[in-house]
Amino acid sequence: MADAGVNVKTVNLTIEGRPVTVPDGTSILEAAKMAGVLIPHYCYHPGLPVAGVCRMCLVEVEKFPKLAPSCATSVGEGQVVHVHSPKALEARKGVLEFLLINHPLDCPICDQAGECELQDYTFAEGRADSRYREPKRFNPVEDFGGDVLYVQNRCILCTRCVRFMDDVAKDPVLNVSERGDRAFIGKAEGHDLTNPWAGNVVDLCPVGALLSKDFLNKARAWELDRAPSVCTGCSQGCNIVIDTRDNVAVRMRPRPNADVNQYYMCEVGRAGYREFNRRDRVEQPMVRNGHTLRIADWEDAITAAARALAGQRLMVLVSPNLSNETLFLVERLVAHANGQAAFRVDTGDEVALPGVPDLALRSERAANATAARQFGFAQLASAQLSLRDGDALLVVGEQLDGIDVADLDRASTIVHIGTTLPDVLAARANVVLPIANISEEEGTLTNLRGRVQRFLQAKAAPGLARPSWYVMADLLAAAGGEGQYFSPADVFDALSVTHAPFATLSYERLGLLGLPVLSPEIASAEVSG
C-alpha cells in the first residue's frame, strides 16, 4: 500500500454505511480499518500470513450466501459490508462463547488483563453469562525457554506465535500439537524459544497465553504509563513504547513503524529498560573542593565547569547514545572552543529478522553513532583518548568502561556530564553535572539509514538531574557560546538551520514515526524553492 497512487487499481465499497476506496486485493478487514471500523479479530495480524482460523472477523456481505471471514476475503467493487448486523453479531457472540468455555477466566491474576483482546471483545460483543456446565479443560503452564511462558489454559490457538516463528523469524520451533479441543501450542523437541526475536510472540499473543517471564506479575496494564520512544540497543532505531509504573520503567514493547521495525523488536532491545532504572545515579551537581566532590547548586556548577574547561585545549568524549540535540550542542561547544570530540561504539554480532527486510539487531550497539559521525566527531578504535598533558577533558554520557587511566591522568581538568559517576572519575572529575537518561528527556535520534526519529519523555529524572541538551546549552552559554534554547525543539530548529540534511525537518514534521534525512542537494533545493 506504500506505493498507492501509482497505477494501483482501486475498489469502491461500503462498510457499515461508510463509502471507502481501497487498492484492489485489500482484505475487507483492512478496508474497514480505513473506513474507521474495527472488525473484531484474533488470528489476523497485518505482519503475518493470513490464517483465517479464529472465525471472529465474520461479517455479512450482501449477496454472499454465508458470512465471510473479513481477514481472508478480498474487497469487491460495490460490496456492501455489514459488521454489526444481527447475523454477524450472533456469529461472533458464538465464537466468543466457544473461546471462553474452557478459558479459566482468571483475569484477576493474568498479566494480559486490561490489554486483552478476549476481554475487550467479550465486553463489546460477548454473552454476559455462560451456558457451559461441564468441567473445564486443564493443562499445566509450560516454560517455553527464553523469556516466554505458555499458559495453555488461556490459549485460543490463533497461531499468531506459530506463524511468527515459521514465517518471520524463520525458526519453526512452535507448532500446533494434537487435534480437537486437546490441541495446544507445542514446541519442537529439544528446542527452546531462545531465538533473539522470539519475545515478539508475547506481544503478538492477543490473550494471556504467552507471557514474558521478565514482566510476570510486575504490573497491571491499567497502572502503566506509556510513552513513545526509540530503542537505543543498536543503530536500527526500532520504534518502541516504554511502559512505566510509578516512575519505574517496567518493559519496552515495539511500536509499529512500517519503515523501520514493522511490529517487532529484539530481545537485546527489550532488556534495555533495566538501564533506565539504574539506582547508582548522580542526582546533584558536584564541584571538587580539595579531595572531595561537594554538592553545588546548578549555577555554580555550570560556572565552575565552564571555568575548568577554559584556557586549555578541549577534548570531548561523547556517548553515541545521546540525542541529536545534545550532540549538536557538543559540536557547537567544540567549534567555539576550537577543541575536538570523539566517541566509542560497542559492537556485537548482527542478528537479522529474516522475514522483515532491513531489520536486524545491528552490530553497532549504539543509537546515534550516525549523527556523531555527521557532526564530524572522531570514532575511537581503542581505549586511548590520546590526550596531551594539560588538556581539558569533557565527558558527556560516556561510562568510560575499560578506559586507559594513565591517559585520563594527563588531563588537567575533567568535567563529567553523565547519569552516573564512573569509578575512575570519582577521584579525578573537577565538576560533575547530572543528566537525564533517554527515557527521561525528549529529543531525536538518527538511525543507521539516516532516519531521524523523535523520542518522548517516559519518566522523571532523579534528583536535580537535568536533560542533557539543557545542561549542554547552559555550559555552552557559560563558555561564551551563542544561542539560547528553551526546549529541545529550539535546539532542533537551530540544528536544522546549520545542518543542511536536517534543513526541512521539524518536530512537527517528524511526528512520532520520523523521516529520513534528505540528501543535501534535495534539502537545499526545497529550501530555496
SS3 316: strand
Looking at residue 425, the DSSP 8-state letter turns out to be: H
* Least Cβ distance, residue 64 to other proteins (angstroms): 11
* Least Cβ distance, residue 60 to other proteins (angstroms): 12
* Least Cβ distance, residue 100 to other proteins (angstroms): 9
Which has the closest alpha carbon to 244: 269, 212, 266, 277?
A: 277
Kindly tell me which of 99 and 361 has the beta carbon lying closer to other proteins: 99
Interaction pattern, residues 34-53, with other proteins; x per rule: CB under 8 A: ----------------xxxx
Q: Return the sign of the alpha-carbon dihedral for residues 154, 210, 163, 2.
A: positive
d(CA 257, CA 456): 16
Q: Are strands 360-361 and 378-379 parallel, antiparallel or unpaired?
A: unpaired
- 344 touches other proteins by CB under 8 A: no
Cell of 322: 545521546
For other proteins, the binding residue among 133, 338, 349, 402 (CB under 8 A) is 133
Q: Are 30 and 2 in contact (CB under 8 A)?
A: no
- 298 touches other proteins by CB under 8 A: no
Kindly tell me which of 54 and 234 has the beta carbon lying closer to other proteins: 54
* Least Cβ distance, residue 69 to other proteins (angstroms): 8
- 349 touches other proteins by CB under 8 A: no
Interaction pattern, residues 137-166, with other proteins; x per rule: CB under 8 A: -------------------xx---------
Kindly tell me which of 177 and 347 has the beta carbon lying closer to other proteins: 177
- Give the Å distances, CA to CA, from 453 to 92, 352, 425: 40, 21, 33
For other proteins, the binding residue among 26, 27, 102, 430 (CB under 8 A) is 102
d(CA 482, CA 471): 15
Q: Are 269 and 238 in contact (CB under 8 A)?
A: yes
What is the length of the chain?
Answer: 529
d(CA 318, CA 469): 13
Q: Are 86 and 76 in contact (CB under 8 A)?
A: no
- 291 touches other proteins by CB under 8 A: no
- 129 touches other proteins by CB under 8 A: yes
- 134 touches other proteins by CB under 8 A: yes
Q: Are 441 and 467 in contact (CB under 8 A)?
A: yes
- 271 touches other proteins by CB under 8 A: no
Interaction pattern, residues 47-86, with other proteins; x per rule: CB under 8 A: ---xxxxxxx-x-------xx-x--x--------------
For other proteins, the binding residue among 19, 180, 290, 529 (CB under 8 A) is 180
- 104 touches other proteins by CB under 8 A: no
Q: Are 238 and 264 in contact (CB under 8 A)?
A: yes
By CB under 8 A, name the binding residues for other proteins.
50-56, 58, 66-67, 69, 72, 91, 94-95, 97-99, 101-102, 129, 131-135, 156-157, 175-176, 178-183
